Structure 1
Amino acid sequence: MLGSLALAWSFWSSAGWLQLCAGLALFLFGMQCLEEGLRELAGGKLEHLLKRSTSTPFKGLLFGTGATFVLQSSTLVSLLTIAFLSTGLIQLAGGIAVLFGANLGATSGIWLLALAGQNLSLSPLALPLLVFGVLASFKGARSKAAGRIVLGIAFIFLGIDQLKEGFTSFGDALDMTAYRAEGLGGQLLFVGIGLALTVVLQSSHATLMLILAALAGGQLGLDQGLALAIGSNVGSSVSTAVVGFLGGNRSGQRLALAHVLFNSLTAIVTIALLAPLTWLVLWLTGLSGLGSNSLLQLALFHSLFNAMGVMLFWPWQTQLARLLRRVLPEQAEPQVLIADVEPQMPTLTRARYLVDSALDSADAAASAVAQELQHLERLSLEVICHALYLPIDQLDGPQVNEALLQARVEPHGLDADTLYQRHIKGVYGDLLSFMGRLELNLDEARQQFWLGSQVAALQLVDAVKDAKHLQKNLSRQLDAPDSALRRRYVELRRHLLLCLREVRELNRSKLPDALWGERLQLLDDQAARFDAGFRQRLFASVRTGELDGLQTSSLMNDLGYCSRIIQSLRNVLLLSEGHELSRQLREVLPQEEAPLIQLR
């Protein structure tokens, strides 16, 4: 609140400062409109291109350069690459190459801004563009996206003119030419200013626009502008680093670190070679007759030091990837997600794979949801196993331990309702929240996958809830002396465990679709035969007097819980070939050849 009041007072005190801030706001808003319009117009083509363009480093470089040239945002391309890397759609080596290309492509923006020049007024061009952009927004979705692009260009033009006028109004008040960037200290000072500006504005283009306007107005010397440009380049990697480290997994963090290393080391080398690079820029612009144009000199310098950085790092891509994996090793996947003995103050289990950066792409979001469903299914199977008062290792292994099935409930047995609250509810809530925050337009295949994923998550939760109800009677009867009633509950316990083991095996299976379907049908047939046989045995026991009506009623209810658990889990066989959601995901991500997700 105080900051807003202080800013409002500064606007009232200085008309030039108001013009400068208004121009910057218009420029940033125009960049946002341009970016959004281009992404909406491209649909999923940008994501498909990214997946196809990382098969070789050179293709990745070309994609990064081209995408940044079109979108005019190296940060967006970097964040999109982090999202794809975090969800496993591309590999680290391909992401590094895209990163190099994004830095090269970022130089196109400063050339366009520099070529606009100081003497050319862009406002007359902006006014008709505003009209056409608004008119286009009243038509269909694609026309609206195109209108957004036109509006973005118009606001950028208006912002550039406002920035020019703002610097002109300030005159000597913003004259920094007296503060020369001489010596290492002076250079580092202006590098730091450029870095800070880019971090605050979240746009290296905006920082470079300010530098160009100040250069054109004479308030900034060329040496100061060059140092500021170096800082803006480093600052552009800070936004990527923050998103990568706070909202990404290990893969995303590695690429974020690669971006910081690339820009920082390039900046260090550029500062060390600043004098010869400045001489080279002045010589090249002098040859072309542009020796007095400081704007084009800055653009040339920006291109030269980014190209130099790519050439320095290009031969070391493999070594860089190895270094990143060593510095940020993969976190080991635990064999058991829920420990047998819960800590006194347990933390709520949350989603693992739903990184916010994945929301920038429909494909990355779909892959993240698929991985999180795998996580939720593993948790659900373990909770159901605990509801049976059995150790998790009984879900695997060559055979069932019959002694454990016959055993009484252990004193430290885990309560299924507590496990649901601690380990299922948080992940399920995160999954629904993530899916609800996706604002991208989805085609029919993605919509089907999204709907199927929501149903699958709900069925997993339903299976756990049924296990909670089953555990109540199971606990009481397993602690009772041997009787016909207890033997029937042991029978239910054995049947549900065998079905859980089969579900786990089907999840891991790499059988062809036809054989996988046959094995699933076998599970269905066995469950149906058990239900029918169990009911027959119940009524036979009633006739012989082993069970009374109330006991039979409880067993019938608990048989229903078992049947619903098995039915829910068989409907959520998400992670193997031949499953409906896997088929839908393959349609969404058609380039994948191996199984997209493998249960561990």
Structure 2
Amino acid sequence: MLPVAFLIHLAGAVMLLLWAVRMVRTGVERAHGTRLKAALRGARGGTAQMALVGMILAVVLQSSTAVGILAAGFVTSGILTVSTGIAALLGADLGSALVVKILSFNLSGLVPLLLLIGATMFLKFEGRGVKQTGRIVLGIAFILLSLQMVGQATEPLRDSRLLPGLIGYLRNDPLTAFLAAAVIAWVVHSSVATVLLFVTFASGGMLPLEVALPMVLGANLGGGIIAVWLTRGMELEARRIPLGNLMFRGVAALVMLILLQVIEAPAQHLGATASVQLVNFHLAFNLVLVVLAVPFVRPMERLTMLILPAPTIEQTGEDIAPIASMLDRASVKNPTVALASAKRELLRMGETVAAMFQPVLELLDGGNLAKIARVRAMDEQINRKHSEIKLFIAEVNRGKLTEREAKLGTDLTDFSINLDYIADIISKSLLTLAETRASKSLRFSPEGWSEMCDLHGRVAANMQLALNVLISGDVESARQLVKEKEAMRKLERASHDRHLERLRNAHSDSIDTSDIHLETVRAFKEINSLLVTVAYPILTESGHLLESRLAQPS
């Protein structure tokens, strides 16, 4: 095989592996994201329980990094402490090692069946849960297929003259092998994919165990760096979780690397082949790390507070810098261009509303008063954008407009008013409810919280769909958005009825949070109804919307 063809074959197989791992993770997040968040939120029994929950979530998501980011978000909201978040991430790393163990089995015979099942579920069914399950099955099939492709692509290396020299160098310089693997894991942003690559090389006889072991340790270090990198823009509490995990992981990996140079690894106890030994070593390393590190997560929390100390003066909402407007004042006399710039600014206003709505659920549960104030401060920015858009379109309307342009201006103004109203609902209703819950230290029932999670996730998805409809004007997307209004009405009614049933059964948590639950669910429904209005002009113009739902009298 020519060098260029070999590199293309190998690079294609590696990219398929990375994409497949991400495909499984996003499928699980879309199908079961709210339940996974609820599971992590509900694990408050201690660090050991958090480690177990983190392990399970990592197996499901096939990513310890995803668990770390979830935990970081909950720590920011006050739902978890830094120490419990570190415990969850340690358990998640063990879970990702279990994923490697599962995927290392020879399951290539299942690839055609998984492709058939996954593609059928994804293409032939309309239900969101079924489609995302099909996406997960397809992702698993692609992982197995990519590992086969990696093995086929690297076969020519076995006869290469360069390979023995490279392996010989790495055998004599384990630190270089360790650091190189850490860089590879960070670059590909997946320790699971990196370790699977090394296992595939070892199974093909290209990576001897004495070189592969330091590289697996390096992949563990690189996996810890990924979460630190991805949370670098988050608040201090969130950044302390991956930092604590990285320090545990980095110290353990370096100690193990030194031990491997002093004593011989008990390979004969790890399995019959090099690939099995490598997988079991990776699993054993993470298992021992969890057992030894979990008891020390609280001292590690204090250490991270010394490394990342809280600032003396906390930033407030008033410090938020205003974002430059997209409104083109020079185009006022050109309605087509002016209204296009108004639509762009309206999209940015919608994105700000979405950013304001996203943390509502965490604030309702965590009650972080400082963050509630910061989110509420975003309402001023939305009010300012609403006023600017409304006055800009009014100025455009003073010129000569076609009937279609005048209608578009009215539609944009109406949706701007509705977005501003959504921001008011969040600020004056939902955030006030979050403050009430925090001041009284109330706790939602597990059933009620699950219902609120489902409704919040649905509204968040519909908010993105509404913004897409605003820009694209797509009729099918508009129809889907309007259908979501009826689906949301049924969900709100069902939640209302189940809540009343819990009250009749004298469920203490439901009684304590009854008003908050009902008002929150009602607010979610109202926000969703306001979002749907962006679809009405599109469907009316295309003839897809009736003027009245009233039946004609006979």
Q: TM-score range by the shorter chain?
A: 0.5 to 0.7
Aligned to 2:64: 74
Instruction: Judge conservation of contact 1:83–1:357 (CA < 8 Å) in 2.
Output: no
1:325 to 280, 297, 305: 305
Q: 1:370/1:508 Cα in 2 relative to 1: closer, same or farther (>3 Å)?
A: closer
Which deviations, in whole Å up to 9, do the C-alpha atoms of 1:219-255 show, x marking residues without a partner? 2111111111111111111221012222x10111111
Other-structure match for 1:166: 153
Q: Which residue of 1 aligns with 2:424?
A: 455
1:210 deviation in Å?
1.6
Distance between the aligned counterparts of 2:261 and 2:90, measured in 1?
24
Contact in 2 for aligned 1:199/1:235 (Cα 8 Å): yes
Q: Is the 8 A contact 2:77 2:371 kept in 1?
A: no
- Specify whether residues 18 and 266 from structure 1 end up closer, same or farther in structure 2 by C-alpha distance, changes over 3 A only: same
Are residues 277 and 375 of structure 1, via their aligned partners in 2, closer, same or farther at CA, if it must alter by over 3 Å? same
Whether the aligned pair in 2 keeps the contact of 1:278 and 1:301 (CA below 8 Å) is no
- Post-superposition CA distance 1:238-289 (Å, at most 9, x none): 221012222x101111112112212211111111211467522x1313xxxx
CA drift at 1:15: 2.6
Q: Letter of the aligned partner of 2:88 in structure 1?
A: V
- Determine if contact 2:171/2:211 at 8 Å carries over to the other structure: no
Cα deviation code 1:68-94 (max 9, x no counterpart): 122221111111111221222211121
Q: Show the counterpart of 1:259.
A: 245
Aligned to 2:531: none
**2:269 is matched with which residue: 284, 289, 310?**
284
Which residue is equivalent to 2:331?
A: none
Distance 1:458 1:82 in 2: 24
Q: Is the 8 A contact 1:44 1:362 kept in 2?
A: no
* Residue deviations 1:365-406 (CA, integer Å, cap 9, x gap): 8779996552254688xxxxxxxxxxxxxxxxxxxxxxxxxx
Residues 133 and 147 of structure 1 are in contact (CA less than 8 Å); yes or no, is this contact kept in structure 2? yes
Segment drifting more, 330-339 vs 96-105: 330-339
Matched, 1:150 2:159: no
Supply the distance in 2 between the matched residues of 1:113 and 1:66 (Cα, whole angstroms): 16
**Cα distance change on mapping 1:75 and 1:298 into 2, 3 Å:** same
| Deviation at residue 347 of structure 1 after TM alignment | 5.2
- What amino acid is the match of 1:268? L
1:304 aligns with 2:284: yes
Q: Which amino acid aligns with 2:305?
A: R
Matched with 1:268 is 254
Match of 2:111 in 1: 126
Q: Give the Cα separation in 2 of the matches to 1:62 and 1:34.
A: 21
Give identity over the alignment, percent.
22
Q: Decide which of 294, 312, 316 is 1:314's aligned counterpart.
A: 294
Are residues 1:584 and 2:524 paired? no
Q: Matches of 2:90 and 2:356 in 1, distance apart?
A: 21
User: What residue identity is the alignment partner of 1:241?
Assistant: V
* 1:208 partnered with 2:203: no
Instruction: List aligned pairs for 1:25-424, cutoff 5 A.
Output: 25-116=15-106, 122=108, 124-137=109-122, 138-139=124-125, 140-173=127-160, 176-180=163-167, 186-246=173-233, 248-275=234-261, 278-280=264-266, 282-285=267-270, 290-291=271-272, 293-332=273-312, 348=322, 363-364=361-362, 374-375=373-374, 377=376
Closer, same or farther: CA 179–330 of 1 in aligned 2, 3 Å? same
Q: How many residues align?
A: 389
Runs (5+) with no aligned partner, structure 2: 325-351, 389-418, 443-512, 525-554
The verdict on how the C-alpha distance between 1:508 and 1:252 changes in structure 2, with shifts beyond 3 A counting, is closer
- Does the residue aligned with 2:205 lie in a helix, a strand or coil? coil
Structure 1: give runs of 5+ residues left out of the alignment: 1-10, 340-345, 381-419, 430-449, 461-502, 514-576, 589-600
Distance 1:359 1:169 in 2: 54
Distance in 1 (CA, whole Å) between partners of 2:170 and 2:69 is 35
**What letter is aligned with 2:287?**
A
Q: Which has the larger radius of gyration?
A: 1
C-alpha contact (below 8 Å) 1:180/1:223 kept by paired residues: no
TM-score (norm 2): 0.60
Alignment of 1:458-473 (within 5 A): none
Select the structure that is richer in helix: 2
Query: Per-residue displacement from partner, 1:292-345 (whole Å, max 9, x unpaired)?
Result: x00011012112222232233233222111222233233345598759xxxxxx
Which amino acid letter does the alignment assign opposite residue 159 of structure 2?
D
TM-score by length of 1: 0.56
Q: CA RMSD in A?
A: 4.3
Instruction: Give the 3-state SS of the residue equivalent to 1:245 in structure 2.
Output: coil
Contact between 1:191 and 1:228, CA under 8 Å: does it hold in 2? yes
Q: 2: distance between equivalents of 1:255 and 1:330?
A: 14
Deviations 1:454-494 (A, max 9, x none): 3336889xxxxxxxxxxxxxxxxxxxxxxxxxxxxxxxxxx
8 A contact 2:357–2:426 mirrored in 1: no
Question: Which letter does structure 2 place at the counterpart of 1:97?
Answer: A
Letter in 1 for 2:423: Q
Distance 1:299 1:77, change over 3 A: same
Alignment CA distance shift 1:313-1:273 (3 Å): same
Q: What is the one-letter code of the residue matched to 2:424?
A: V
Q: After TM superposition, give the deviation of residue 361 of structure 1 in Å.
A: 8.8
Shift of 1:62: 0.6
**Contact kept? 1:38, 1:146, Cα under 8 Å:** yes
CA contact (8 A) 1:181 1:190 kept: no
**Greater mean deviation of Cα atoms: 237-246 or 309-318:** 309-318
